[in-house]
Amino acid sequence: MFVFETYIRVRYAETDQMGYMYYGNYAAFYEVARTEMLRSLGMSYSAMEKNGIMLPVSELKTKYLKPALYDENILIRVSINKKPSVRIVFNYELFNENKELINTGETTLVFFSISKNKPCLPPPVFLDKMNTFFN
């Protein structure tokens, strides 16, 4: 299992009139956490794309427990619980400043060869980094 944590502050533009974060913005928070997790491994989406691999999202699940509020610094815990193959599943837990769980989510992404236009295995360098957490 691999776990990574990062913080994102809820900006005014991400909220509705009540000061609650708009529901569609949770997916964007997931993406920021996922991107930072990959960066913590020395990987990036842009490097993978330059090497011919894309990672489109094939599935998104989310559960809203409490609202994220304007100006709160939200802790996002993202984890990979299963060794990636053609698919990689990210799990998310969002906590408010009182350490209350406010949202859970999951995204499934697919490693996709740009040149072959079909799903593929992850790059060997990515699998080597993941093996540290799953052996």
Question: In sequence order, what DSSP letters do the residues of 73-98 get, joined into one string?
Answer: EEEEEEEE-S--SSEEEEEEEEE-TT
Q: What is the dihedral of CA 61, 31, 2, 44, to 10 degrees?
A: 140
HSE value, Cβ hemisphere, 13 Å, CA-based, for 72 = 21
* Per-residue model confidence (pLDDT) at position 23: 95
Model confidence at 112: pLDDT above 80: yes
Average pLDDT rounded to a whole number, residues 84-96: 97
In this structure, of 15-19, 64-68, 103-107, the range with the lowest mean pLDDT score is 15-19
For residue 47, the domain's CATH number is 3.10.129.10
pLDDT of residue 135: 75
Half-sphere exposure of 12 (CA within 13 A, CB side): 0
Contact present, 65 and 95 (Cβ < 8 Å): no
pLDDT for res 35? 95
Q: Can you say how many angstroms the Cα of residue 121 is from the centroid of all Cα atoms in its chain?
A: 19
User: Which token pair is 49?
Assistant: 């794309």
**Domain interval for residue 125:** 2-134
Which residues lie below 8 Å from residue 49, measured CB to CB, with a gap of 6+?
114
Which pLDDT value is given to residue 57?
97
Q: How many domains does the chain have?
A: 1
Summarised one tens digit per residue, pLDDT across range 12-48 is 999 999 999 999 999 999 999 999 999 999 998 899 9
Mean pLDDT of the chain: 96
Using alpha carbons, list the distances in angstroms from residue 82 to 1, 63, 89: 7, 21, 7
Task: For residues 97 and 8, give the distance between their C-alpha atoms in angstroms, rounded to a whole number.
Answer: 11
Which tens digit of pLDDT belongs to each residue from 50-59? Answer: 999 999 999 9
The pLDDT-based confidence of 131 (bands split at 50, 70, 90) is very high
Segment 114-123 shows an average pLDDT of: 96
